[in-house]
Structure 1
């Protein structure tokens, strides 16, 4: 297999791959081998390479691919319709347990821990015929917006190796951007799907809370959720359907399993005429870098040219208030869970993990649990008011152009405001514009590419829908994707 053919095959989306499987021009085992060749060529090592994976499941994946070859041959013979992901290489986040494999989440306290069952999203990937060929990196306990840890090293952005792909699903974003997976699973409690999508030029979806099942007890946390990432809006919608619906292990999960959020036909011809879309460039007072602001405005312009009505929206939020609200919540759920799990191994934690636990504890000491609920309700009410009369809200994913791949940002982060002047943010999470929509977590949010920043790293926009209105965000996302030209993923060499 030549390098050119490998690159071409690993650029295929799910629909294109399925069409080739159906015609017999390509076999799942051939796509898998091209994917492994791409990994060998570009993933590199844990110190200087992209380093997107915790492990490669070569033997198991090849066995699954041979079975998929046979299943597609049978389908061509009898005209049957195979499962939606049959033969598609899917990278799953390490925290999404795979029975009998590691479930360490990058933590020293969890070394040697194995999953005793498949996570619900893993179960659904396998049921749909997906081939889990690799498992992706994350920061410790998925608690940072950069992706590095003592356990797994530094994960880098294929577009700019000095930059982070974001976090916590940074391995997923890097794997997709570099062509080392066709689909990837992710999770999101403050932007952990959308931030990597924004920084890597991929697509990430935060479904409404309960739409995609999680694993208890933290699946009961209404800020969080698991979900899909891909390189196209259509693939993301297809994958969201595979993952969605009620599962017995998650009491809070709802819906019919396998129901797609939108039809593929509607995605092929998205209609923007008369759509009322709010444009919130700063979500209050986030200091959005000029290139990100310009790319977001360009997205609004192409939607307007397609027939949408763009309406400027102001929200009464400050970055300090959003941080206070979210960390009060973390102080009662995620922070204590992390402290308990890591007790006795504090000296081995990454600096960002230690800081997260301390910040969450401090916030809980300042705000009672009922008061934290009131903070949530205020954000939710203000968003609902701002979106009255609109079909969706458009806003950037990130306020900064890049994060350092090895950064800890313990003293906050320097940003550049819209006037070009420097701004220092007290907490580095304030550089991302995602967490308000975890507070308002019944809203579906799709992150799609908006362009390239002045430092060569992709930028993204979020499309925020009304609670449970998934179809609208995907339709708007498809319209953006059709009109915003992005470069092919970077053609890296090892």
Structure 2
């Protein structure tokens, strides 16, 4: 099979069951692809190929007609796990020299579920230090590059996951999202990335109590994201705030006829958005209109200064820990991490927790007013066409349509939906910018209405598919 490493998870499972493809063949293809492209993209900081091959052989037996052991829902699928997420007895460095010798003593609840469903963890993916950046390089792991244009980053913080999927070195990948870290690399790499509503997918303590924090699937197709999400979701004893009952997405997603969709490109004008991204977002919205949805541009005003202040108040305690933890050994820390700490602590100066909550309530209320009238909101994932790989963006900002955004975080439109954390958000591709880097759109659902975001994403994928043929894949 040509380009076997790009086969979707759903197609691979069907082929496994039909005995036209074996899990061993797929694992070998993915590992061979990694040998070819990893020296360039650097998406993995740790690999477990021999164990993965043995697990693939065991899955092959379960698919055999004479086997008494039924195959599992994800049986035999190569799955790359983000370095932030603990997997027992594997390295858990979080992209930091401070943790270079750390080995996880437990497995994150949702990774445990994926493995229990037959997913095979063949590699661990790179991330920026402590997962606190929209690009993907660190002193411990080096620079991770975007397969679509290796001069650019795949985004962050789930950058290795995004690069791996785009390059075809994994079938499934995991991500986490505290400020856009699933959606940003999904956008820059032309992927599907789902930020579930808070509590939908269980996390590990104490980060399960951070309402900005989410974990979720990153895939090349909407159906693959549904497949992963249905395994991941549901209450877990290790996460006291995980939601009951288990939410199951349907295998068949209805079309979008009759759905009312709001469109906001720049949240009232205070968010700079590149013209190509604007054009691609509006084209995606028009495609959904052609599929029968009612699509209207709305006057949604989310003040960027409110989001900057509210999110800084939220992140300042962690960034204070970063400063304290790195004191006296700053040379081991990534400069961009120390810079982000300085910026965010400065923005939160003089704030109280109550002020942060009041700002979050204002932002959430504004979004909710729109979602009360519409089934979902469509907006760009980022305003920028990309960040240069390896650039710390400390002594210069990001230029968007002639405006310099001093702190690169502010070029992302994702954080409002970490504040409005109960909204499910699906990133889907909308095209390519002139630099060859993909652009993406957020599909923001009403609180806990996961299925509508997937319906919309699947409808757009049917009209404008991605990764289905070689012409719609990176030329790495």
The superposition leaves residues 175-226 of structure 1 with CA deviations (integer Å, 9 ceiling, x where unpaired) of: 0001011100000000000000000001100000011111111221101111
Contact 1:411–1:427 (Cα < 8 Å) also in 2: no
Match of 2:221 in 1: 232
Tell me whether 1:291 sits opposite 2:276 in the alignment. Answer: yes
State the Cα distance separating 1:491 from its structure 2 match.
3.5
Counterparts in 2 of 1:219 and 1:35: CA distance versus 1, 3 Å: same
Report if aligned partners of 1:163, 1:404 keep a CA contact under 8 Å in 2: yes
Residues 410-421 of structure 1 mapped to structure 2, 5 A cutoff: 410-411=394-395, 413-417=397-401
Give the TM-score taking structure 1 as reference length.
0.92
Q: Distance in 1 between matches of 2:102 and 2:19?
A: 41
1:340-395 deviation digits (Å, cap 9, x = unpaired): 55454322111111012222322333211111111111110111012221000000
Separation (CA, whole Å) in 1 of partners of 2:118 and 2:383: 38
SS at match of 2:241: coil
Q: How far off is 1:321 after superposition?
A: 2.5
Structure 1 residue 412: Cα displacement: 5.1
Q: Is the 8 A contact 2:63 2:70 kept in 1?
A: no
Q: Deviations over 1:251-294 (max 9, x none)?
A: 1111345x43x21122xxx3211110000011232111111111
User: Could you say which residue in structure 2 is the equivalent of 1:273?
Assistant: 257
Q: Give 2:31's aligned residue.
A: 36
How far 1:80 sits from its partner (Å)?
Answer: 7.5
Select the residue among 13, 21, 24 that pairs with 1:26: 21
1:20 Cα deviation (Å)? 0.8
Q: Within 5 Å, give how 1:248-327 maps onto structure 2.
A: 248-256=237-245, 259-260=247-248, 262-266=249-253, 270-284=254-268, 285-327=270-312
Q: Quick one: distance in 1 between partners of 2:142 and 2:38?
A: 13
**Is structure 2 residue 376 aligned with structure 1 residue 392?**
yes
Q: Offset of 1:43 from its aligned partner?
A: 1.4
Work out whether 1:142 is the aligned partner of 2:166: no
1:39-54 equivalences under 5 Å are 39-44=34-39, 49-54=40-45
* RMSD (Å) for aligned C-alpha atoms: 1.6
**Residue number in structure 2 paired with 1:63:** 54
Structure 1 pair 460/392, CA: closer, same or farther in 2 (3 Å)? same
Give distance in 2, aligned partners of 1:444 and 1:100: 32
Q: Where does structure 2 lack aligned partners over 5 or more consecutive residues?
A: none
Partner of residue 446, structure 1 = 426
Quote the Cα distance in structure 2 between the aligned partners of 1:324 and 1:167.
Answer: 21
1:170 aligns with 2:165: no
CA displacement 1:286-320 (0-9 Å, x = unmatched): 11111111100101111111111111122222323
In structure 1, the partner of 2:338 is: 354
- Deviation of the 1:78 alpha carbon: 6.6
Cα distance in 2 between the residues matched to 1:68 and 1:341: 44
Would the aligned equivalents of 1:416 and 1:423 in 2 still touch at CA under 8 Å?
yes
Alignment partners' CA distance in 1, 2:306 and 2:414: 14
- Provide the C-alpha distance between the structure 2 equivalents of 1:239 and 1:277, rounded to a whole number of angstroms: 26
Question: Size of the alignment, in residue pairs?
Answer: 471
Name the CA distance, whole Å, in 1 between partners of 2:138 and 2:299: 38
Residues in 2 aligned to 1:184 and 1:322: alpha-carbon distance in whole angstroms: 29
- How far is the alpha carbon of 1:63 from its aligned partner? 1.3
Q: 2-side partners of 1:166 and 1:369: how far apart?
A: 30
Unaligned stretches of 5+ in structure 1? none
CA distance in 1, matches of 2:395, 2:279: 28
Q: Cα 1:263–1:80, aligned 2, differ >3 Å: closer, same or farther? A: farther
CA contact (8 A) 1:167 1:196 kept: yes
Q: Distance in 2 between matches of 1:291 and 1:405?
A: 21
Q: 1:298 to 1:239 in 2, by over 3 A?
A: same
CA distance in 2, matches of 1:123, 1:341: 30
1:114 counterpart (103, 118, 124): 103
Moved more, 183-192 or 248-257: 248-257
Q: Secondary structure at the match of 2:162?
A: helix
